[in-house]
């Protein structure tokens, strides 16, 4: 049986994108080239890897097994290539990073500039993605790593904790004098709570922290859900009530609004932020360099937070 590495890359890409045109674009080849090579592989194997009668394209039963083996072969090849490249003292290569929207605007500016200056031969691509999208992309090896809230407890994924950031309440001006230093969970529930839209893990953490269920949530008379932390805070300013924000979002807070930030309870709840990988060994030098850069870029107040009162995301 004859096949080559490119053909394996093509069928994996085709499985990921379920489109000949998108797979060809991803592999930097023409669509006829990719289609011809996939067809040749199927003929050499005497099996149909993909069911072309379905829209979108799907693998056949045996095709799923072939693609899974192709993923393993390509992953092992990547590790072998990395072993060779590690002999080179210069750090080179590419990193594709998925990061959740409640982290990206606040964390990326802290480390990306210095990282690119320290490692000018590393190509970095950063994508804002929700947690479930990052998990799916890691499993399909469409991205190299994710930066998101953990623990995920997803089989096959490896988590490397980076830091812990407090969850802080942001209250309307009318409530500032009512809660001078901090606010309790029960007191939060006495007011209108503004939450992120569905699909954001920070939303799930607010539900878990406040012990809210769907019925109680509906009883809060919530009229709007925002896709951004800034949107939630503007709603609090205009419509009253409270929202919860991650600590990184408060670093450059306007001085005139600092009184609206209140710690929660006696033991501040935190969310754990980690690098998440599909394979521990893949691009290890690049991942280690990124991890060290992120940790060194953190403000002391966040770097010193301890792994206590971690709020679940599930």
How far apart are alpha carbons 187 and 210 in whole angstroms? 10
Residue 311 has what pLDDT?
Answer: 87
Please answer whether residues 167 and 311 qualify as being in contact, where contact means their C-beta atoms are separated by less than 8 angstroms. yes
Residue 246 has what pLDDT?
Answer: 93
- pLDDT interval class at 106 (50, 70, 90): very high
How, if at all, do strands 193-194 and 145-150 pair?
A: unpaired
Is pLDDT above 70 for 281?
no
Residue 301 has what pLDDT?
Answer: 92
How far apart are alpha carbons 158 and 145 in whole angstroms? 10
Burial class from Cβ neighbours inside 10 Å (0-12, 13-18, 19+) for residue 116 reads middle
Summarize the confidence of residues 244-250 as an average pLDDT: 93
DSSP state of 311: P
Is pLDDT above 70 for 225?
no
Please answer whether residues 73 and 6 qualify as being in contact, where contact means their C-beta atoms are separated by less than 8 angstroms. no
- pLDDT interval class at 303 (50, 70, 90): very high
Summarize the confidence of residues 267-293 as an average pLDDT: 88
Question: What value does the mean pLDDT of the chain take?
Answer: 87
Identify the residue whose tokens are 């010193």. Answer: 304
- pLDDT interval class at 46 (50, 70, 90): very high
Residue 214 has what pLDDT?
Answer: 45
pTM: 0.77
How far apart are alpha carbons 161 and 291 in whole angstroms? 9
Domains and CATH numbers, the chain: 5-85 (1.10.10.10), 93-161+272-303 (3.40.190.10), 164-270 (3.40.190.10)
More confident residue, 284 or 115: 115
């Amino acid at each position: 049986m004859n096949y080559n590495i490119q053909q394996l890359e093509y069928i994996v890409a085709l499985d990921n994108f379920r489109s000949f045109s998108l797979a060809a674009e991803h592999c930097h080849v023409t669509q006829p080239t990719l289609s011809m090579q996939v067809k040749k592989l199927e003929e050499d194997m005497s099996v149909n890897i993909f069911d072309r009668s379905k829209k979108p394209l799907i693998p056949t039963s045996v095709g799923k097994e072939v693609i899974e083996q192709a993923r393993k072969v390509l992953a092992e090849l990547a590790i072998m290539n990395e072993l060779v490249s590690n002999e080179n003292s210069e750090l080179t290569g590419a990193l594709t990073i998925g990061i959740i929207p409640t982290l990206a605007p606040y964390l990326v500016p802290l480390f990306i500039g210095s990282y690119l200056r320290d490692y000018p031969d590393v190509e970095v691509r950063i994508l804002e993605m929700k947690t479930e999208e990052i998990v799916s992309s890691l499993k399909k090896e469409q991205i190299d790593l994710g930066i998101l809230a953990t623990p995920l407890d997803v089989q096959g994924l490896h988590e490397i904790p980076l830091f812990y950031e407090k969850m802080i309440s942001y209250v309307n001006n009318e409530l500032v004098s009512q809660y001078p230093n901090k606010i309790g969970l029960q007191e939060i529930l006495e007011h209108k709570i503004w939450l992120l839209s569905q699909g954001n893990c920070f939303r799930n953490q607010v539900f878990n922290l406040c012990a809210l269920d769907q019925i109680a949530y509906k009883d809060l008379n919530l009229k709007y859900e925002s896709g951004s932390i800034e949107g939630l805070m503007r709603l609090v300013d205009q419509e009253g009530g409270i929202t919860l924000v991650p600590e990184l979002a408060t670093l450059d807070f306007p001085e005139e609004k600092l009184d609206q930030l209140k710690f929660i309870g006696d033991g501040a709840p935190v969310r754990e932020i980690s690098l998440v990988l599909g394979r521990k060994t893949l691009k290890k030098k690049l991942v280690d360099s990124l991890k060290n850069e992120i940790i060194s870029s953190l403000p002391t107040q966040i770097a010193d937070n301890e792994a206590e009162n971690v709020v679940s995301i599930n």
